[in-house]
A = this chain, B = another copy of it.
Amino acid sequence: MRTYQHPDLSTVTIEHALHALSDPVRLDIVRQLDREVEASCAALDGGRPKSSMSHHFRVLRAAGLVHTRIAGVQHMNTLRRDEVDKRFPGLLDAVLGVKG
């Protein structure tokens, strides 16, 4: 069965994490996952094209921000909140605390 690769947070640079968070669609996914704990890709796509969403999830996984597990036909995503908070203290609080 296919599984996704998830980097050890210690190998992720702050620039890499910032880049992943600097896109409105990806930031929206991270915001939703911060509220919803776990969500399928379909529940997070907001009607956007699947190919573009695949790209965004790939970027979020590569930056160590999101974990994706395969559950039957669904891909379930979680925010790696504790690990990210440990690697980049205060970053997600600062980024997610901003309105607009």
Chain A residues within CB distance 8 Å of chain B:
13-16, 18-19, 21-24, 27, 87-91, 93-95, 97-98, 100
A21 and B18 in contact (CB under 8 A), knowing A13-B100, A93-B90, A94-B89?
Answer: yes
In the bound assembly, the distance between CA atoms of A81 and B21 in angstroms comes to 21
Q: From residue A80, how far is it (CB to closest CB) to chain B in Å?
A: 16
Q: Which residue of B lies closest to A93 (CB)?
A: B90
**How often does this chain occur in the complex, in copies?**
2
B100 touches A89 (CB 8 A): no
In the bound assembly, the distance between CA atoms of A98 and B14 in angstroms comes to 7
In the bound assembly, the distance between CA atoms of A76 and B57 in angstroms comes to 40
Q: From residue A60, how far is it (CB to closest CB) to chain B in Å?
A: 13
A94 touches B90 (CB 8 A): yes
Q: From residue A7, how far is it (CB to closest CB) to chain B in Å?
A: 14
In the bound assembly, the distance between CA atoms of A98 and B15 in angstroms comes to 10
B19 touches A22 (CB 8 A): yes
